[in-house]
Amino acid sequence: RPRGGWGGVGEVEIAVAEYIDWFNHRRLQGEIGHVPPVEYETTYWSTHTVTSYRENPVPAVAGTK
């Protein structure tokens, strides 16, 4: 929070957006090897194959459509 308080809702919105950007893209996360979350996710998906629902459907529960 800035010294003297926020100048208005717009300043709060900007500060929150900046924090979320930092949290999701730049902070180092120890539980995933001290890399930013976005970097970990990029590496994860580059080494895993995505299986679509059509290729691997979930079986229906008996009595449902």
Q: Which of 39, 45, 43, 44 is nearest to 26 (CA)?
A: 39
- Ramachandran angles phi, psi of 55, nearest 5°: -75, -25
63: pLDDT strictly greater than 70: no
Residues, the chain, total? Answer: 65
CA distance linking residue 49 with residue 64, whole number of Å: 30
Higher pLDDT, 49 or 2: 49
Task: Bin 52: left if φ > 0, else alpha if -120 < ψ < 50, else beta.
Answer: beta
pLDDT in the model for residue 55: 64
pLDDT in the model for residue 18: 94
pTM: 0.54
> pLDDT tens, 44-58?
888 887 776 666 666
64: confidence class by pLDDT, cuts 50, 70, 90: low
